[in-house]
Copies of this chain bind each other. A is one copy, B any other.
C-alpha cells in the first residue's frame, strides 16, 4: 500500500502546524480556485479521498451537501477529524486509496485535495471514482503539479529558476518534507489526463495554480510560485 507518512509522528507533528492544518481551507491558498471548480453542493452525496482533518467534509455539509464520506489512510488524521464535529451526516473511514472500493453510482461528487500524487495506482482509482459516481457526477481534485514533483533536486536555484529535470521519467520520488523519505509518485499532466479520459471522464477544466496578484500583495513571499505552478487543479464529469 501507499506509504502512510501522515502516521509518522514527526511528519504528523509538522503537518499539524501548517496553515492549512490550523486555519483549514482558508489556510490553503489554492482553495478559492478549487472551490470555483466545484458544483453547487446543495443535496449532494460527496466522498473526499484523503480527507485529512475533515475541513472539506465539514465545509461541504455547511454548503448544503446531504452526506459526506471522508476517507483517509491516516488514523491520526481520522481521529482528529472525528473529534472535531458531531455531525452524523459526515462519516469518516479508513481506506487505502490504492485499493479503493466504493458502492457504485452512489456519489454526486468525488473530491480529493493533494492526495493523488501519493498513489501508486491512479488508473484503478479513477476507474473506481467513475464507477462510484452517478451519470453526470463530478470529479474535482488537486495534486502537486508535475513540474513540482519531477526534479531530482526540487528547490529554487540561486538565480530564482526552478531546475527542472526528469519530467518524462514517471515514478516514485523521495523528498524530505516535514520528514525524511516522503514518497510521492511523479506523473506528467498527460498521464493524469489520459488516465481520466480512459476511465470514461470528460475533462471540464484544468488549472495550473499560482497565487493571484491579491494573494501576492498579502503574502509577497509567495511570488516565486508564479515561476512554476505548485499545484494542478482538475475538474471532470462522468
Query: Residues on A close to B: CB < 8 A?
Result: 147, 151-152, 157, 159-169, 188-190, 193-194, 197, 202-208, 210, 226-229
Contact of A205 among B152, B188, B197, B228 (CB under 8 A): B197
Q: Do B206 and A166 have beta carbons less than 8 Å apart?
A: no
Contact B163 A157 (CB under 8 A): yes
CB proximity of A228 to chain B, nearest CB, Å = 5
State the number of copies, please: 2
In the complex, 30 of the A-B residue pairs with CB atoms within 8 angstroms, ordered by the A residue number, are A147-B147, A147-B164, A147-B167, A157-B157, A157-B163, A159-B163, A161-B163, A161-B164, A161-B165, A162-B163, A162-B164, A162-B165, A164-B228, A165-B228, A166-B226, A166-B227, A167-B208, A167-B210, A167-B226, A167-B228, A167-B229, A168-B208, A168-B226, A168-B227, A168-B228, A188-B208, A194-B206, A194-B207, A197-B205, A203-B203
How near does chain B come to A193, taking the closest CB pair, in angstroms?
5
- In whole Å, how far is A36's beta carbon from the nearest beta carbon of chain B? 12
- Do B190 and A207 touch across chains, with their CB atoms under 8 A apart? yes
Given the complex of chains A and B, what is the CA–CA distance between A169 and B228 in angstroms?
Answer: 9
